[in-house]
Amino acid sequence: MTDSSAGEGTAYGQRDPDALARRAGARADPDRDQHFLVDDRVLDRIPGYLPDDADRSRLLEIGGGAGALTDRLLAAATGDAAATGDSPSRRVTVIERDGAFAEFLREEFAAAVADGLLDVIEGDALDVDLPPFSACVANLPYGVSSEIAFRLLPEKKPLVVMFQAEFADRMVASAGESAYGRLSVSAQHYADVEIVERVPKEAFDPQPAVESAVVRCTPRDPDYVVGDEAFFLRFVKALFTQRRKTVRNAVRNTAHISGLDDPEAVVDAADEELLRSRPGTLEPAAFAALAELARERGSPAEA
């Protein structure tokens, strides 16, 4: 059941999201993490949130759905290409788990596929090999947004990604704020993380239960050094399971998570003021320094 009033032949960036959903034939199913963005103004703004100096030559989208954002990404890619004259190297890749929508994207954007401008990968974004990409722009499936974010962040590429607002608030929170936690320290380990737009439920069809927010992650090295990233992230996770305890007790009580064989040796060597503080007040650099001490004194097991 297709509505052929637009589609292939329509200039990129001008497709009406409601008409795309109608042409796709299948209705978005919230039980499959399908909430389609139908507000043109939000869709039009999203690609523009990439950092000015971001390389737009290989854009990755996760969860293409009926293609409203894919259309804007093709416009961004071809618009830039026209300006720079290097269109052959441009490519948008979409990973979509739902076979019906993956097939629809190939039909709707058949010309872009034929021109080598668009690749549609049908598969689960948690399992498929990620294609090479220079930046990722996506309205993520919220059920797996954390897992996808932590697949993407270590790639150290700019990301402009829609999350549930509460998740986004935790990603950007600073030490001492109530939303500050494991997610804040882990995300900010890889990138400068900021909310660039809050998006109301009404911008989606069907509407999700909660508000959303677009987050920009601009990769950079942290202002501290960790010798073992996996241990650092495990140590942060462990301490935040005891966020209301003192750091002293959190180190002692979470050896089963951090893998420390000798947490007492860490407590003996650490600064007293630090040990009296709470994990929720420690800056990322203080976590890193304590993780390094824990690695030296606490005999952590291999993960």
Ligand X SMILES: C[S@@+](CC[C@H](N)C(=O)[O-])C[C@H]1O[C@@H](n2cnc3c(N)ncnc32)[C@H](O)[C@@H]1O
Q: Among residues 188, 197, 130, which one has the least CA distance to residue 160?
A: 197
- The set of residues, in sequence order, having a beta carbon less than 8 Å from that of 277 and lying 6+ positions away, is 246, 247
Q: Which residue has the tokens 């978005």?
A: 28
The reply on whether position 96 binds ligand X by CB under 6 A is: yes
User: DSSP secondary structure string, 180-248?
Assistant: -SHHHHHHHHHEEEEEEEEE-GGGEESPPSS-EEEEEEEE---SS--S-HHHHHHHHHHHHTTTTS-HH
Angle, alpha carbons 111-116-118 (nearest 5°)? 70
Q: Which residue has the tokens 């064989």?
A: 261
The reply on whether position 37 binds ligand X by CB under 6 A is: yes
Q: How many CB atoms lie within 10 A of CB 102?
A: 17
The reply on whether position 101 binds ligand X by CB under 6 A is: yes
Residues in binding contact with ligand X, number by CB under 6 A: 23
Q: Is 239 known to sit in a ligand binding site?
A: no
Say how far apart CA 271 and CA 276 lie, in whole Å: 9
The reply on whether position 63 binds ligand X by CB under 6 A is: yes
Q: How far is the CB of 177 from ligand X (least distance, A)?
A: 27
Q: Is 85 known to sit in a ligand binding site?
A: no
Which listed residue (34, 93, 164, 254) binds ligand X by CB under 6 A?
A: 34
Q: Is 124 known to sit in a ligand binding site?
A: yes
228-257 residues near ligand X, rule: CB under 6 A:
none
How distant is the alpha carbon of residue 217 from its chain centre?
Answer: 8
Q: How far is the CB of 68 from ligand X (least distance, A)?
A: 5
Closer CB to ligand X, 199 or 250, in the complex = 199
- The set of residues, in sequence order, having a beta carbon less than 8 Å from that of 157 and lying 6+ positions away, is 133, 134, 135, 136, 219
The reply on whether position 33 binds ligand X by CB under 6 A is: yes
- Helix-strand-coil percent breakdown of the chain, rounded to 5? 45, 15, 35
Q: Which two tokens stand for residue 256?
A: 């089963």
181-200 residues near ligand X, rule: CB under 6 A:
none
The reply on whether position 139 binds ligand X by CB under 6 A is: yes
Closer CB to ligand X, 65 or 259, in the complex = 65
Q: Is 96 known to sit in a ligand binding site?
A: yes
Pattern 143-182, ligand X, x by CB under 6 A: -x--------------------------------------
Closer CB to ligand X, 35 or 182, in the complex = 35
Q: How far is the CB of 231 from ligand X (least distance, A)?
A: 28
- Binding positions for S-adenosyl-L-methionine: 35, 37, 63, 96, 124, 139
Residues engaged in binding ligand X (CB under 6 A): 32-37, 62-65, 68-69, 95-98, 101, 124-126, 139, 141, 144
